[in-house]
Amino acid sequence: MRGGDATMWETHHVTLSKVQPYGFGIAVSGGRDNPHFSSGEPSIAISDVLRGGPAEGRLFHNDRVLFVNSVSLENVDYNTAISVLKECGDTVHLIVRRKASPQSQCREATLLRTLENSHLPWGVVFGCKLFVSRILPDSIASKEKNIHEGDVILSINGQKTSHLSLVEAQKLVDRCRDRHLKMNVSKHEREILNRTGISDNSTDLNQNYSSSPRLNEEKIYSTNTAKSSADDGPPRPPLPACLDSNYQQVPIKKTATGSPSQQAPLDSRVRIVQFTKYKSGLGIRVSGGNRTGVFVATVNYGTPAYGLLFEGDVLLSVNGMELGGRTREEVVTVLMNLREQVELQVQNRKEDFSRLMQDGGSGDSFYVRAHFSYDNPDKDCMPFKNSDVFHVTDTLYNGVPGFWCVRKLGKGNKTVEIGVIPNLEKAREYVAKQREIAQSTEDKENKRSSSIFFMKRARRSKSLSKDHWEEVVFSNPTTKFDAYERVVLRDRKCSNYNDLFISDD
């Protein structure tokens, strides 16, 4: 809230890179000498966001600009703000304040178990973040109007979820035996992306990545900007100032939905596409994985790939390198490391792409066995033990390299936990640190006591069962095994999951 006003505000961090011919693709107005708002508020405000530009879907009309590259714009005049913005170079980091969307207001959803529906499950399945990833049909939740797929879960039966892991939250629901399952939920704008045709399970090849499992920006919206309310003031003159002196309005043919039109290929023949890569990236967003192939999900207007690549194009090779069977993480890594000249072999498979997006956009699927214990995980990651087996379903959690979305498998090939683990690169770094610690400790021990210890363990190992022997081997932090070992299903009918997998050589 601000002053005596009951308006709720949100703060957003947005990083933009210039894209020709748009520049940053925004215009600003306001300042203490020329207020943008009829109330006289001196804030520097976003007055226009160009369609197809780098700011579309990330900044909105009437956003208040608080900081530009750590320089405060609070209570400055118009010319000072423009001077700061023009000195940013090719990249700018903005901190803006925005009115909270009415859709983000908290509401309560209560599921009632009765004699008639007592045989039904609660029907709420959580995703990798604490939001409702799916509502099961013919469940109690499917008949409740106040809970929907994409809703963020704030509390469950009075217990806040901010400190709960995904598994703990799911257990609260699954183990509830009361007549009421009460949840405080709120609409999360990011989950609306799936309903507007842009999936969270796609990766933007025009962004800078972070090593954190969370996105660089607090929120990135892709819904259309709503018209400002009456109290935001009268319409301002168009484009009072642009953030790029080279900016010019470019006539764009638009479809009925307002987006630039792009004629997709009429057939599914394999095409060779060549273009020069921008410094800021390829300007495309990809979805899929090793199971489905990696597809072009969107192509940014004004980039070299526009008009050459299309939604639904599957990437077959890049600069002579075959991409078939590669995970989305592997393909994105290859594409991000390309130099200026790019040659892609693609084929439009619109129907396959449509099925992929209907399934959520994630096309990765393979199995790994961990050869280390992860007892002190990073935030948002789940702990696990050595020899645990995982089904990896997404190698780019939230579209950011560094973490995998997985299902931990137990006996009978059943999922016992869903969560996020470090990817292979991060896992190797973690194991290397553990080896250094173990080696340092071992060097301090007496050679004689150390040899006695290993002799005793060797004698003991002769009487151990296969499972216990495996536990001893994998418990050694200095093992020469890789952090994760690729494995494949061998016999689904086995009851012990250690026998379910063989090495994927």
**Backbone phi, then psi, for 431, in 5-degree steps?**
-65, -40
Greater model confidence, 388 or 265: 388
First to last CA, the chain: 59
**Nearest to 2, CA basis, from 64, 72, 49:** 64
Amino acid 463: pLDDT: 52
- Local confidence band at 3 (pLDDT 50, 70, 90 cut-offs): very low
Tell me the pLDDT band of 36, cut-offs 50, 70 and 90: confident
Q: How far is CA 24 from the centre of its chain?
A: 23
| Residues 324, 41 contacting (CB under 8 angstroms) | no
Q: Which amino acid is present at 492?
A: R
Q: How many CA atoms lie within 13 A of 491 on its CB side?
A: 7
Which residues in 121-251 belong to E strands, given as ranges?
124-126, 132-135, 151-156, 159-160, 180-187, 202-204
Looking at 202-358, which runs of residues are DSSP E strands? 202-204, 271-276, 284-289, 293-299, 313-318, 321-322, 341-348
Q: In what order do the strands lie in the sheet with 389-394?
A: 415-422, 403-409, 389-394, 366-370, 484-489, 501-503
Give residue 391's pLDDT: 95
* CA–CA dist 288, 345 (Å, integer): 17
Quote the distance between the C-alpha of residue 81 and its chain's center: 33
Distance, CA of 335 to CA of 374 (rounded, Å) = 30
Please tell me what DSSP assigns to residue 120: S
The better pLDDT of the pair 364, 158 is held by 364
What radius of gyration do the chain's Cα atoms show?
27
Are the CB atoms for 209 and 401 separated by under 8 Å?
yes
Structure-token match 């400790």, residue found: 441
Question: Is residue 418 scored above 50 in pLDDT?
Answer: yes
DSSP characters over 173-206: HHT--SSEEEEEEEE-GGGGGGGGT--TTEEETT
440 phi, psi to nearest 5 deg? -65, -40
Helix axes 447-461, 466-474, angle to 10 degrees: 150
CA distance 464 to 468: 6
Question: Would you list the DSSP string of 63-93?
Answer: -EEEEETTEE-TT--HHHHHHHHHTSTTEEE
Task: For 77-130, write each residue's pLDDT tens digit.
Answer: 999 999 898 888 888 889 999 887 655 556 678 888 888 887 777 777 665 457
Residue 188: pLDDT over 70: no
Taking 3-state DSSP, the helix, strand and coil percentages for the chain, each rounded to the nearest 5, stand at: 20, 30, 50
Q: Residue 441 and residue 449: Cα distance in Å, rounded? A: 13
* Residue among 94, 96, 91 nearest 18 (CA): 91
For residue 433, CA distances in Å to 372, 385, 426 come to 12, 17, 11
Residue 456's pLDDT band (cuts 50, 70, 90): low
Residue with tokens 């484009």: 239
**Which pair of tokens denotes residue 429?**
């770094």
Residue 468 CA to residue 470 CA, distance in Å, equals 5
**Poorest-confidence range of 148-157, 226-235, 470-479?**
226-235
pTM, two decimals, is 0.48
Residue 405: its H or E element: strand 403-409
Q: Is 350 left (phi over 0), alpha (psi -120 to 50) or beta?
A: alpha
Residues 377, 421, 375: CA angle, nearest 5 degrees:
30
**What's the pLDDT score for residue 258?**
40
Q: Is the pLDDT of residue 267 over 80?
A: no
Sequence-distant (≥ 6) Cβ neighbours of residue 82 within 8 angstroms: 28, 241
- pLDDT tens by residue, 323-336: 999 999 999 999 98
Output the pLDDT for position 411: 86
Among the residue ranges 81-85, 113-117, 196-200, 313-317, the one predicted with the least confidence is 196-200
Share of the chain above pLDDT 70, in %: 69
Q: Is 93:101 a contact under the CB 8 Å cutoff? A: no
Measured CA distances, 431 to 346, 394, 419, 476 (Å):
38, 22, 20, 11
Q: How confident is the model over 195-200, as a mean pLDDT?
A: 38
Contacts 24+ apart (CB under 8 A), 102-105: 103/187, 103/189, 103/192, 104/10, 104/186, 104/187, 104/188, 104/189, 105/8, 105/186, 105/187
d(CA 431, CA 479): 9
Check: CB of residue 205 under 8 Å from CB of residue 283. yes
All structural domains of the chain: 9-100 (2.30.42.10), 103-187 (2.30.42.10), 366-503 (2.30.30.40)
Taking 80 as the threshold, does the pLDDT of residue 308 lie above it?
Answer: yes
Over residues 54-64, the pLDDT tens digits come to 888 889 889 99
- Asked which of 86-90, 218-222, 349-353 is least confident by mean pLDDT, the reply is 218-222
* pLDDT confidence band for 213 (50 / 70 / 90): very low
What torsion, rounded to 10 degrees, do the Cα atoms 493, 498, 501, 505 define? -160
Mean pLDDT of 351-358: 87
